[in-house]
Chain A
Amino acid sequence: MVAWLDPLPDNPLPRMTGSDLWPIVWLSLRVSGTAVLVSALVGVPLGVWLGLPGSRSHNGWRALVHTGMALPPVVVGLMLYLLLSRSGPLGFLGFLYTAKAMIAAQVILALPFVVGITMTAVAAVPRELVPQLRTLGATDRQVRWTVLKESRPGVLLAVAASFGRSVSEVGAVLIVGGDIQGHTRVLTTAIVFETSKGDFNFALALGAALLVLALSVNLAMLRLGGAARLPAAAP
């Protein structure tokens, strides 16, 4: 690929090839996809609830959500490691160094994004819409559903952004997943590994795969939300 990036000739580690790439891409997609699915199922209703005008305790929750959006992945990884390690309170689950642990870490990181962006999108719907829906006969559930539909582009952005955060995150999955080849090695941890061992060509291929993955998800969300109204989310 790029000559000056070739590993040194006496590098003792074996070179990676294309057939090693796909299991890694597939695992990344599965782990981050599952994490985003769980985050969306929990986070979208929560975001709608917090976005609608409500009680004063909402403000405390909103502050908490915004803090959650700034959680450093490494710290999340560390906390989760302590919880899941054999002597930790959740050690009995046997999740440490499995895909389940990585999914859990990414849910913790993605959930505040889903809640936060959904909340902001819902709050941007004109306030006077709610009483107008009520007077047309909408029940509380129907009001929430309609407001959610009105904020659809923002909600899709929330999902795209949380996928971007999940799939590009390395600190947490490295700690709780352990970067075990063929088991818990995902795109980001593989890039770290390949770079450290000097296989820059493979690391670059992995990086390209990561970008293509994030781009595809964003394009899919754009199609769902109507291209004109949805700003693209950075991975």
Chain B
Amino acid sequence: MTTELQQLRLPTTSADADSPAAYHVRQVVKSYGRVQAVDVERLDVAAGEVLCLLGPTGAGKSTLLRLLAALEAPTSGEVIFAGGPLGTEAAAAVRRRVTLVFQRAVLLTDTVRANVEYGLKLRGMRGDAASRIAAVLDRLGLAALADRPAATLSGGQTQLVALARALVLEPEVLLLDEPTANLDPARVALVEEVIGEDKRRRGTTVVWATHNMFQARRVADRVALLLSARLVEAAPTEAFFNRPGDPRTADFVAGRMVY
């Protein structure tokens, strides 16, 4: 486990200019009534990178993830995924390639196994479904809970099952909204390890929202800072923390930020 975490900490170069982009976010505004939740002029996500969205609660991280997941359409502007704009027609197809793990997971009133099986069933997968489910449950330490009703799980276990039901689908893009918020330190490390492993094995693109900058430092290839709906700066992890380009990033990193 130690080596895994060390590997995650190594600065990588997967966000090079010539690597293919998973997302282009262009002049995207999302407002609810008069409240602007997201106002991002330009943000790119490279295929195969781990991008951490850092920022305080209410900065717009979750809304940005919902836009990337094609669950909501921007009020104005464009989100381009894999070369095409995310429109209403494309949304359903995109949602089979991109999966968002919610901060507050709602599970089905069924067993843990049935919850993890759900997405596979939607896709009509049969053959190797059982072994894939077993593998994911095993990786996340949930094997013993497979036949438990989801309603009897703790908050942390629920969060792990929500991650399991997303990972089992092997999505091209994994969007994570505070996936370790309810977990004890050992399970935080486990989740970071499992996601890093998934990324290395399959080249998964990961957009990971967290308010924990230490976590961002551990897992990210690049970090983007959001403050009150706006993107302050996006930079490779090492540069973001050691040579921030924006004074607000410097304040945030130093813990001097007053929001």
Question: Residues on A close to B: CB < 8 A?
Answer: 126, 128-129, 131-139, 142, 146, 149-150
Is A150 within 8 A of B109, CB to CB? yes
With A142-B122, A146-B108, A150-B109 known as contacts, the answer to whether A136 contacts B165 (CB < 8 A) is: yes
The listed residue (A129, A138, A150) touching B122 by CB distance below 8 A is A138
**B189 to A: closest C-beta gap in Å:** 25
Q: Does B69 make an interface contact (CB < 8 A)?
A: yes
- List residues of chain B with CB within 8 A of the CB of A133: 118
Is B102 within 8 A of A128, CB to CB? yes
A-contacting 9-mer, from B92-100, B132-140, B198-206, B221-229 = B92-100
- List residues of chain A with CB within 8 A of the CB of B109: 150
Is A128 within 8 A of B104, CB to CB? yes
Give me 19 other A-B pairs in contact (C-beta within 8 A), A138-B122, A150-B108 excluded. A126-B106, A128-B102, A131-B66, A131-B102, A132-B105, A132-B106, A132-B162, A135-B71, A135-B95, A135-B102, A136-B165, A136-B166, A137-B95, A137-B96, A137-B169, A139-B92, A139-B122, A146-B108, A150-B109
- List residues of chain A with CB within 8 A of the CB of B108: 146, 149-150
Q: Does B256 make an interface contact (CB < 8 A)?
A: no
With A142-B122, A150-B109 known as contacts, the answer to whether A135 contacts B69 (CB < 8 A) is: yes
Which are the 5 A-B pairs with shortest beta-carbon distances? A136-B119, A135-B100, A129-B106, A126-B106, A137-B96
Q: How many residues of B contact A (CB 8 A)?
A: 24
Residues 97-136 (chain B) with a chain A CB within 8 angstroms = 98-100, 102, 104-106, 108-109, 118-119, 122-123
With A131-B66, A131-B71 known as contacts, the answer to whether A136 contacts B106 (CB < 8 A) is: no
> CA–CA, A139 to B124, complex, Å?
13
Is A128 within 8 A of B100, CB to CB? no
- List residues of chain A with CB within 8 A of the CB of B66: 131
Is B95 within 8 A of A134, CB to CB? yes
**A68 to B: closest C-beta gap in Å:** 29
> CA–CA, A133 to B102, complex, Å?
11
> CA–CA, A226 to B216, complex, Å?
45
Is B122 within 8 A of A137, CB to CB? yes
> CA–CA, A18 to B108, complex, Å?
50
**A156 to B: closest C-beta gap in Å:** 14
**A137 to B: closest C-beta gap in Å:** 5
Contact with A along B61-101 (1 / 0, CB 8 A): 00000100101000000000000000000001001101110
> CA–CA, A149 to B66, complex, Å?
25
Is B118 within 8 A of A136, CB to CB? yes
Is B122 within 8 A of A128, CB to CB? no
Is B106 within 8 A of A137, CB to CB? no
> CA–CA, A202 to B104, complex, Å?
60
**B162 to A: closest C-beta gap in Å:** 8
> CA–CA, A139 to B91, complex, Å?
10
Query: For residue B119, which residue of chain A has the nearest CB?
Result: A136
- List residues of chain B with CB within 8 A of the CB of A134: 71, 95
**B98 to A: closest C-beta gap in Å:** 8
Residues 173-193 (chain B) with a chain A CB within 8 angstroms = 175
